[in-house]
């Protein structure tokens, strides 16, 4: 056992005494030591209940003969950080989380890890740590929030972000918005749609690092507590069998995860996080893989923020996916056309084929059959062109088909705040292409999400009349013609940094292209005149991050 270095031999009398200072008895001290990385806090709705998840996981570890040792992990709430300086501090925590878990696991010689995240950057940060450390590990997430109810329909935080625009657009009153505030988020859990947190929790399951149900069992259900106990028991089995994260997170497993990503219409942020996790797992990853897998993977599930039944204004949420069979049912359906490698090993200790043996779709309205998909292609697409030579990402399943081909004049802004001011002043017109530059990983720094901007566009009723492109990124709650991760970013001399008001931009999602109508000579002339922008942050963690972060096309990993 790795932990023997803490407790075995005459020279380890001091560490043994320190264990006893905390109340551990010999039977606990000489059992396998299992680190419980818990991101519980009192600021994130998805994490407010993780103390109970940790208690259940620790109970499982003890039942299986291990000694659980809990430690804390930070977590930022993207919803609370949105629309102000705080959003610069969201993505950057992914590396802090991975690094801090590495420090704790190495310093205290844990034999294995139970990882307890729930929200956006925390899930990938923990998976990165698991891949880097490569000791037996299992993820047990906190689960999704239930959808709220208003006027007989399900709603979520999406409607709240779109609220200001909806009031200004005359679609609802301030009194109605106030009523919705009381109902949209009814309790603990990661926000109820297929936003980034739930996307990553589902992909954790698809990667094989979470037990079946990890991605979809609602936070408030007792089944989530039972799953946490099972995770605690299972980590001891993984330790006994010496099954490590890199045995699970193989190239085949990543391809499975991407296929599920396409079938579910997950957040564009997965295109940042999956490459970063693959990097830590020593698995080669190319952004072009997304289009290859998307082209052959049908889109089977439409969850909020996309609308499942536009004619009725009905959206499905995470609880609906759970009741319909969850991620296992989606994988089983994809397997019918050979789109899933069922030979891979998972944290169950069994192969995926064994896990899926008795699985079926329980609600074909929520999970469509592979022969009757929402769309023939997957939910995400990578665009290329003279405006984004290294790629840009769009959640095509959340774009109105009327906006899949879009041409308009650029309205160029240096940051999201400037764009939002013009939107709220109703100075953005139909047919405009809003360009928000210098919001990338380096230029932001921190690659802010543009949910305030996109939600205002939708709230104003211009979701299919205005496009928005940025070297920043979008929340999974965004919808409409939103193209993010434009690479290279403006701060690195990318073409997006050369744009001017009035430039004609062409977006062609079906053909995976995005261009500005400028000649190579004109672009070259503008590049000669371009100078790198002054760093926006000159001290502290963000300044260090900006100096070492790579392109969004590489997953914004830190080197």
Active site residues: 475
Those residues with Cβ within 8 angstroms of residue 121's Cβ, 6 or more apart along the chain or in another chain: 75, 76, 78, 90, 91, 93, 94, 97
Residue 278 sits at the vertex; the CA angle it makes with 274 and 280, to the nearest 5 degrees, is 120
Residue 447 contacts residue 556 (beta carbons within 8 Å): yes
The conformational region for residue 540 under phi > 0 = left, psi -120 to 50 = alpha, else beta, is: left
Residue 343: CB atoms within 10 A of its CB come to: 10
Is residue 379 a contact partner of residue 265, using CB atoms and an 8 Å limit? yes
Counting beta carbons within 10 angstroms of the beta carbon of residue 2, is it exposed (0 to 12), middle (13 to 18) or buried (19 or more)? middle
Give the bridge partners for 467, in sequence order: 433
Among candidate residues 440, 433, 457, the one with its CA nearest the CA of residue 507: 433
Q: Which tokens belong to 221? A: 């259900």
Give the dihedral of Cα atoms 223, 156, 372, 342; nearest 10 deg: -40
Interatomic CA distance for residues 11 and 17, integer angstroms = 12
3-state secondary structure of 112: strand
Taking the C-alpha atoms of residue 39 and residue 126, their distance in angstroms, rounded to an integer, is 10
Handedness of CA 538, 39, 346, 234 (dihedral sign): positive
The tokens for 9 are 């031999």
Q: CA 317, CA 315: separation in Å to the nearest integer?
A: 7
Residue positions counted in the chain: 559
The answer to whether the bond into 488 is cis (omega within 30° of 0) is yes
């Amino acid at each position: 056992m790795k932990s023997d270095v803490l407790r075995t031999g005459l020279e380890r009398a001091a560490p043994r005494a320190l264990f006893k200072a905390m109340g551990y008895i010999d039977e606990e001290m000489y059992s396998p030591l299992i680190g419980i990385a818990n991101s519980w806090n009192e600021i994130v709705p998805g994490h407010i209940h993780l103390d109970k998840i940790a208690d259940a996981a620790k109970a499982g570890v003890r039942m299986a003969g291990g000694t659980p040792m809990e430690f804390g992990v930070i977590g930022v709430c993207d919803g609370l950080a949105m629309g102000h300086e705080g959003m610069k501090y969201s993505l950057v925590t992914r590396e802090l989380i991975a690094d801090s878990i590495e420090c704790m696991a190495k310093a205290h010689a844990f034999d294995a890890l139970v990882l307890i995240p729930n929200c956006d950057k925390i899930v990938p940060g923990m998976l990165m740590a698991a891949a880097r450390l490569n000791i037996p590990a299992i993820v047990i997430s906190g689960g999704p929030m239930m959808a709220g109810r208003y006027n007989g329909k399900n709603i979520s935080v999406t409607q709240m972000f779109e609220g200001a625009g909806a009031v200004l657009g005359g679609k609802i009153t301030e009194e109605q918005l106030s009523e919705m505030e009381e109902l949209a988020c009814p309790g603990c859990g990661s926000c109820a749609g297929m936003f980034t947190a739930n996307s990553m929790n589902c992909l954790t399951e698809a990667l094989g690092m979470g037990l079946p149900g990890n991605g979809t069992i609602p936070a408030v259900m007792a089944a989530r507590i039972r799953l946490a106990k099972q995770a605690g028991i299972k980590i001891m089995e993984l330790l006994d069998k010496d099954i490590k994260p890199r045995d699970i997170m193989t190239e085949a497993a990543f391809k499975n995860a991407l296929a599920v990503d396409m079938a579910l219409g997950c957040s564009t942020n997965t295109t940042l996080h999956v490459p970063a996790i693959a990097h830590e797992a020593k698995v080669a990853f190319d952004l072009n893989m997304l289009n290859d897998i998307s082209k052959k993977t049908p889109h089977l599930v439409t969850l909020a923020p996309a609308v499942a039944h536009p004619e009725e204004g009905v959206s499905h949420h995470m609880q609906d996916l759970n009741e319909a069979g969850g991620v296992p049912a989606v994988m089983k359906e994809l397997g019918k056309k050979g789109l899933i490698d069922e030979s891979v090993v998972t944290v169950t200790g069994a192969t995926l084929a064994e896990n899926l043996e008795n699985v079926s779709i329980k609600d074909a309205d929520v999970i469509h059959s592979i022969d009757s998909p929402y769309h023939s292609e997957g939910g995400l697409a990578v665009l290329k062109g003279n405006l984004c030579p290294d790629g840009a990402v769009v959640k095509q399943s959340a774009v109105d088909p009327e906006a899949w081909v879009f041409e308009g004049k650029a309205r160029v802004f240096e940051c999201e705040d400037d764009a939002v001011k013009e939107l709220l002043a109703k100075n953005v017109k139909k047919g405009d292409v809003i360009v928000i530059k210098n919001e990338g990983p380096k230029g932001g720094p921190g690659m802010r999400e543009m949910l305030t901007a996109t939600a205002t566009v939708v709230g104003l009723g211009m979701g299919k009349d205005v496009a928005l492109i940025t070297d920043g990124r979008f929340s999974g709650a965004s919808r409409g013609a939103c193209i993010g991760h434009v690479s290279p970013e403006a701060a690195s001399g990318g073409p997006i940094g050369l744009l001017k008001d009035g430039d004609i931009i062409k977006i062609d999602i079906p053909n995976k292209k995005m261009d500005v109508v400028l000649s190579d000579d004109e672009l070259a002339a503008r590049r000669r005149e371009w100078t790198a922008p002054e760093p926006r942050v000159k001290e502290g963690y963000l300044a260090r991050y900006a100096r070492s972060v790579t392109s969004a096309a590489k997953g914004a990993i830190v080197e």
